[in-house]
Amino acid sequence: MASNKSKGCVVDIETYGTEDDCKILSIGAVIFDEYGDVRKTPPETFHMLVDLDQPGRTVDASTLSWWEKQSEEARMRVLAEDNRAPLEEALLELTGFIRKHKPWFVWGCAPDFDMGILEHAYKSFGGSFPVQFWRWQDVRTVENFVFGKNTRKSGPFNIGCAHDALDDCLQEALVLQMARKQIGEPRLESHILD
C-alpha cells in the first residue's frame, strides 16, 4: 500500500430497519488501498451473519417488505439461518479486524446509517465503534461529486450481489478506487491558503 493514509476500510451492514436500534442481519468490511483495484488485488475482508436474537433491538415492517422484494440470491445470503454469531461476538470480531489493519478512514454508504447503527449496538454492550466519528467518510458523496450519479446500481462498478454486506463493501471500495484514479493525487495549491 502506498501509505497508511491511503489505507481505508469500507463497512456495510444489512438490517431489519433504518433506526439506530434495528436488528443487524450481517456485517461486512473490506480493507483497501485507494490507489489499488479490488478486482485485481483481493483485499482483506470481514463478513459475519448475526444471530437475530437481539433483545431490545427492533424490526421495521416496511424493511421486512423491502427484503421480500430483493433478489433471491440476496435473501438466501443474508437471511440464511446457519452460521450466525451473537451480535456482541460479531462486534468484537469487527473491532479486532479494524484494529489489526489500522485504516486511516472508514467509509460507508451513508456512514450515519452503517456506523450509526453499529455505534448504537456497541453502546448497548458498553463499547463504542472502533474508529472516531471524524474519520467516518461517505461513499455516496465522493461518488456523486466525481461521477455525478450512483454508479453502484447499474454502472461500470457494479460487482457482486447487491445487499450482501461483503459484496457491497467490495463494490464501494472499487467506486472509491476509481474515483481516486479519476481525480488523481490530492493537492492543495499554496495560494488557496493565502
The per-residue pLDDT for range 32-57, each reduced to its tens digit, is 998 998 889 889 999 999 999 999 99
Cα 68 from chain centre: 22
Domain boundaries, the chain: 4-183
d(CA 185, CA 137): 18
Cβ atoms 30, 169 nearer than 8 A: yes
Q: Helix 165-183 to helix 139-147 angle, to the nearest 10 degrees?
A: 40
Q: 4-183: which CATH number, 3.30.420.10, 1.20.1560.10, 3.30.2020.30, 2.40.30.10?
A: 3.30.420.10
Which tens digits make up the pLDDT trace of 18-32? 999 999 999 999 999
- Using the structure block, give the residue that is written with the C-alpha cell 478486482: 39
pLDDT tens, residue by residue, 168-178:
999 999 999 99
Whole-model pTM: value is 0.91
Helices (H) and strands (E) in the chain, counts: 7, 6
For Cα atoms 115, 6, 103, give the angle at the middle one, nearest 5 degrees.
Answer: 40
Average pLDDT over residues 133-157: 82
User: Does the pLDDT value for residue 1 go beyond 60?
Assistant: no
Residues 154-163 have pLDDT tens digits of: 666 777 888 9
pLDDT for 183 equals: 86
pLDDT band at 188 (very low <50, low <70, confident <90, very high): low
Amino acid at 157: F
126 contact partners, CB below 8 Å, separation of at least 6: none
